[in-house]
Amino acid sequence: MKCMIDGREIEVEPGTSIILAAQRLGIRIPHFCWHPDLSVDGNCRMCVVEIEGSSKPQTACSTMVTDGMVVHTDSPQVRKARRATLELLLVNHPIDCPVCDQAGECYLQDQYMEHGLHDARISLDEKVRKRKVVDLGPIVLDAERCVLCSRCIRFEREVTGTNQLGFVGRGDHTEIAAFDNRPISHNYAGNLADVCPVGALLSRDFRFRMRVWFLESTPSVCPGCSTGCNIFIDHRDGEIHRLRPRRNVSVNRSWMCDLGRALYKGAGAPSRLLGARLRSEDDRGMIPVGEALDLLSSRLRDAGEDVAFLASPQATNEDLFAFQSLCDAVSGMLDFRVDDPQDRMAVLEDGVLLRADRNPNTRGCLELGLGRTGVDAIMSACRAGRVKALLLQGPELLRTPAAGIFLEKVPFVAVMAENDEPALARAHLVLPAAAWTENEGTFVNFARRVQRIERAIEPPGESRPRWRLASDLLARLSRPLDATTAWDVFRLASRSTAAFSGLEHVSIGESGLDLDAIKES
């Protein structure tokens, strides 16, 4: 089906709305209530367009493209209608942008600036008064700013099924409300602030933190579980201010969960490890990372084949590949399945996005063949005193209750970690690792989708990406890895790993690739 929008032709499948067809041409039709991942409600009447042959403007969200249709999205008739609707939306709006946290990402503000609607024909004392600053737990509600678009209600009905928000009253006295002002109790509250096109629902966490126009955004993937929601990391001057979902219809549509959203806090926490730490007889001492790597490499060399490696499903494929290469260099034992995350990998916990496996890259571990020796076999070897050195890519093992018993007879345990925690005391050497926000590379989600993360900020202190720690060790073992960036490591991995064969980080793109689909094509 072909149609013409603003003089440009586009072909779409039957049942495509004008707003979507226009979007594909990069034409954004102003709107409030329409959302690509929610049902069409048609209530705001903002997205009107002119269709040749039709006397009145039509809403682009609810009108389907027909063959030969000619559409104008910015004609004088359209601009007039849009301006009139906008003015009506402002009738009861407080226009308090200077003190509103939505400023900078508010559809209403954008439009009202564009149409220059400053000469309000309705005075403030004529406006309907509604409730302001209502505490709903993770969300702060201001009913006066609400444009009654019902996006939040549709989100809770269609995505979470929680239905905690609803309207009260009718006509121009309609107000958005949570029953009895009860706090929003589901794990997706942050999305309510995202879907709200104005400043009526704001995130308590982000409120008053930062004007959004100062922020820089880096595309990434949430490391909170095996779903791998696509996100943006919003940061400024080396500090992360928030995470927000990045739309990907194949993974998370426009959403992410609150557990994931909170994960940026770890990267800037006071518990970050800024240098290496060696446990000696009486005290714990900080040592330069170079020295720590020297020590560790000599331990690995001395141990001969009596070494074991436990990879971490928190790590990127590049981290994993470098780690595996290290293990192969000394012919050690290798696995990653502490607590068997692979058994939970595909289990959807809440029917929405969150999966029971809280690792972003369990699937990557499987693709790279890191489940080799068996964790039980490695643990028995440890208990039998047959392991002289154990290198952990993350603290997973140290956190298990039985760790102490297993590690009793291992003379040297080294661990890579981002944050300090009591469990690390069980290791002799701690290496400071870069957090996921400071690393680049790839994860494979539960459904075999390989996705890229990008570096938003620099690693603090002497911390560095895990793949870098591994390649520094390999260099010391005279088996240097032919890589200076994570993408070089990916190239190496793609040569030896069937799943990644022929892939490059560019071809993965910002929305990732389905490995099953590649195999078929």
Partner 1 sequence: MTKTVEYKPENLALFERIRARYPEKRSALLPALHLLQDQEGHISREGVEYVAALVGVTPAQAHDAASFYTMFRFTPSGRRRIEICTNLSCALRGADDLYAGVCNKLGLEGDGISSAGDHAVSSAECLAACGGAPALQVNGAWVENVQKGEIEDVLAGRLSRRPLKWPRSPGEPILLRNVFKKDSTSLATYRAGGGYARLRDHLTTPPGEIVEAVKLSNLRGRGGAGFPTGVKWGFLPAGDPRPRYLCVNADEGEPGTFKDRLLIERDPHQLIEGIVASSHAIRARACYVYLRGEFHEACHVLENALDEARGANLVGPNVLGTGVDVEIHLHRGAGSYECGEETALIESLEGKRGQPRLKPPFPAAKGLYDCPTIVNNVETICCVPLILDRGAGWFASYGTERNAGPKLYCVSGHVNRPGVYEAPMGSITLRDLVFGEGYGGGIPGGRRLRAVIPGGSSTPMLTAGEIDVAMDFESLSRAGSALGSAGAIVIDDSTCMVWVAQRLTRFYRRESCGKCTPCREGTAWMLRLLDRIESGKGAPSDLDTLSELCETISGSALCPFGDAAVIPVASTLARFRAEYEYHVREKRCWKEVANTYEDAAGGAGR
Given the complex with partner 1, which of 148 and 231 has the nearer CB atom? Answer: 148
Q: Is 90 in the site for ligand SF4 (CB under 6 A)?
A: no
**Contact region for ligand SF4 (CB under 6 A) — 141-149, 231-239, 419-427, 499-507?**
141-149
Among positions 151, 253, 272, 468, the unique one binding ligand SF4 when judged by CB under 6 A: 151
Nearest CB to ligand SF4, comparing residues 148 and 417:
148
Residues near 282 by Cβ (< 8 Å), separated by ≥ 6?
none
Q: Which among 519, 520, 473, 470 is positioned nearest to 499, based on CA atoms?
A: 519
Cβ–Cβ under 8 Å, residues 184 and 139: yes
Smallest distance from ligand SF4 to CB 44, Å: 9
Please choose which of ligand SF4, partner 1, none residue 475 contacts, taking the beta carbon within 5 to 8 angstroms, the exact cut-off set by kind.
Answer: none
Cβ–Cβ under 8 Å, residues 203 and 338: no
Give the nearer residue to ligand SF4 in terms of CB position, either 3 or 146. Answer: 146
Residue 511's nearest CA partner among 126, 229, 202 is: 229
Does 136 help bind ligand SF4 (rule: CB under 6 A)?
no
CA angle in degrees (0–180, nearest 5) for 359-365-366: 115
Q: Return the structure tokens found at 52.
A: 């040749």
CB nearer partner 1, residue 179 or residue 214:
179
Size of the site for ligand SF4 (CB under 6 A): 14
Binding span for ligand SF4 by CB under 6 A among 72-80, 82-90, 192-200, 317-325: 192-200
- What is the torsion angle, in degrees rounded to the nearest 10, for the CA atoms of residue 143, residue 149, residue 155 and residue 156? 50
Task: Name the minimum Å distance from CB 163 to partner 1.
Answer: 4
* Three-state secondary structure call for residue 434: coil
From the list ligand SF4, partner 1, none, partner contacted by residue 339 (C-beta under 5 to 8 A by kind)? none
Q: What do you get for the CA distance between the two ends of the chain, in Å?
A: 27
- The answer to whether 470 contacts ligand SF4 (rule: CB under 6 A) is no
CA distance 202 to 215: 17
122/249 with CB nearer partner 1: 122
Cα–Cα distance measured from residue 280 to residue 289, given in angstroms and rounded to the nearest whole number = 16
Our finding on whether 108 is near ligand SF4 (CB under 6 A) is no
Dihedral of CA atoms 320, 321, 323, 326 in degrees, nearest 10, equals: 170
Chain residues binding partner 1 by CB under 8 A are 40-46, 48, 56-57, 62, 81, 84-85, 88-89, 91-92, 121-122, 126, 128, 147-148, 153, 162-174, 177-180
| Bridge pairing between strands 284-287 and 276-279 | antiparallel
Q: Does 149 bind ligand SF4 (CB under 6 A)?
A: yes
Q: Does 196 interact with ligand SF4 (rule: CB under 6 A)?
A: yes
| Residue 152 in contact with ligand SF4, rule: CB under 6 A | yes
Instruction: Specify the residue, 156 or 396, whose C-beta has the smaller distance to ligand SF4.
Output: 156
Residue 317 interacts with which of ligand SF4, partner 1, none, CB < 5 to 8 Å by class = none
Spell 160-172 as b/e; 16+ CB within 10 A means b: bebebbeeeeeee
Q: Is 148 in the site for ligand SF4 (CB under 6 A)?
A: yes
Instruction: Give the C-alpha distances (Å, rounded to integers) separating 191 from 140, 187, 205, 259.
Output: 13, 9, 13, 12
Among 195, 320, 368, 450, binds ligand SF4 (CB under 6 A): 195
Q: Which residues bind ligand SF4 (CB under 6 A)?
A: 146-152, 176, 195-198, 200-201
